[in-house]
Amino acid sequence: MIHNRILILGASGYIGNALYRELDSYFDVYGTYCTQDGLYADNQVFYQFDAEKNSVLPLLEKLKPRYIISSFSSQYQASMKVHQDLVSYCELLPESRVIFSSSAEVFDARKKFPAYEYDKPLSESTEGRQKLTLEKLLLEHIPFQTTIIRMPVVLGINAPLILQLRQAIKHKAAFEVFPKRIISASTAAKIGQQVHYIINKDLTDIYHLSSSDVIHHDDIFREIAMKISDSLPVFKKVFSSNEDEYQAILPKENLLPKPYRITIAEVIESSTLHDEIISIKK
């Protein structure tokens, strides 16, 4: 095992690439991509990996990372097999770590209050239940080698939702908002900084990498739209309830130091700083 080596599974994705860009200057970082051969085929530190076709074990045996960050999406059975293999790898190497990227969806059946780190998860969505199953697998088998990072709605200049909002503004098209949904949020850049801190301090446990406050779903996108354009998209209001419902996670028990925290106001500012769309390819 190589102590300063990190493997990011899903490093070509939006969150995974933000983690790669944050960590690359400080650690020996490798990543995987699934289908983007045109972007990464010639990159010496990116490996093609399809969880539905490949085992992750040969890659682990070749690279021998200390930290494995799981930030990829795949069919459930394939994801389960990958994480079972991660457990097997870590059981043989007690100093190795898995950082698992989870989400607020593990609480999406709890709607009356925001969720904190040690609240009992309860999910009604397929994705939320799958994330929860993978969390349990890691926490049951390698609890002292596992870090669960749960993420809220992730925004920022180049975030998929913000790109979608910009297109809706440009074409005067519909953009769905949920007026009764209360959310927390963050940016990929801030999450990268937080994960960097977690690795530096060798922290395990459960972390909610979200803003310290909440906002209604329609309000945050209306504020962002008003800051980036003089015109608005067609906000299509979707109601799943007549009462406010929380789909928000908040940090409480495992607070990171102040420089690594973020507020909704800072998320909005970070999503509207400039109009330049950065490339995710380093």
Structural tokens at position 53: 């076709």
Please spell the DSSP secondary structure of 17-79, one letter per residue.
HHHHHHHTTTSEEEEEESS-HHHHTT-TTEEE--TTT--SHHHHHHH-EEEEEE-----HHHH
* Same domain assignment for residues 24 and 136: yes
DSSP 259: G
Which pLDDT belongs to residue 38? 67
Residue 147 lies in a domain: yes
Which pLDDT belongs to residue 275? 47
* Same domain assignment for residues 51 and 122: yes
* Same domain assignment for residues 19 and 118: yes
- Does 278 have pLDDT greater than 50? no
Looking at every residue in the chain, the average pLDDT score rounds to 94
| Of 117, 190, 183, residue with least CA distance to 148 | 117
Which pLDDT belongs to residue 192? 98
- The number of C-alpha atoms within 13 Å of 260 and in the hemisphere containing its C-beta is 17
* Same domain assignment for residues 10 and 58: yes
Which pLDDT belongs to residue 274? 61
| CATH code of the domain in which 164 resides | 3.90.25
Residue 257 lies in a domain: no
Which pLDDT belongs to residue 40? 76
The letter for the amino acid at 255 is: L
* Same domain assignment for residues 127 and 35: yes
Residue 255 lies in a domain: no
Residue 82 lies in a domain: yes
pLDDT single digits (tens) 7-38: 999 999 999 999 999 999 999 999 999 887 66
SS3 89: helix
More confident residue, 102 or 241: 102
CA distance 203 to 201: 5
| Of 195, 194, 159, residue with least CA distance to 277 | 159
Kindly report the length of the chain.
282
pLDDT above 90: percentage of residues in the chain: 90
- Does 276 have pLDDT greater than 50? no
* Same domain assignment for residues 144 and 15: yes
* Same domain assignment for residues 158 and 147: no
pLDDT single digits (tens) 196-232: 999 999 999 999 999 999 999 999 999 999 999 999 9
Residue 161 lies in a domain: yes
pLDDT single digits (tens) 151-200: 999 999 999 999 999 999 999 999 999 999 999 999 999 999 999 999 99
* Same domain assignment for residues 148 and 33: yes
* Number of C-beta neighbours around residue 162 at 10 A: 22
* Same domain assignment for residues 73 and 168: no
Domains contained in the chain, number: 2
Which pLDDT belongs to residue 282? 38
Residue 24 lies in a domain: yes
pLDDT single digits (tens) 234-253: 999 999 889 999 999 999 99
Which pLDDT belongs to residue 252? 97
Residue 279 lies in a domain: no
* Same domain assignment for residues 111 and 229: no
Domain with 165, as residue range(s), is 154-184+212-249+263-270
Distances (CA, A) of 160 to 25, 46, 141, 156, 173: 25, 22, 34, 9, 16
Where residue 76 falls among pLDDT bands split at 50, 70, 90?
A: very high
Name, in order, each residue with C-beta under 8 angstroms of 211's C-beta and a sequence gap of 6 or more: 152, 184, 185, 186, 250, 262, 263, 264, 266, 267
* Same domain assignment for residues 51 and 147: yes
* Same domain assignment for residues 11 and 144: yes
Which pLDDT belongs to residue 277? 46
- Does 281 have pLDDT greater than 70? no
CA distance 132 to 125: 11
pTM for the model stands at 0.93
Which pLDDT belongs to residue 43? 77
pLDDT single digits (tens) 48-64: 999 999 999 999 999 99
Residue 29 lies in a domain: yes
Which pLDDT belongs to residue 279? 37
More confident residue, 44 or 116: 116
Structural tokens at position 33: 């991509």
CA distance 61 to 92: 12
Structural tokens at position 58: 């040969």
Which pLDDT belongs to residue 23? 98
| CATH code of the domain in which 16 resides | 3.40.50.720
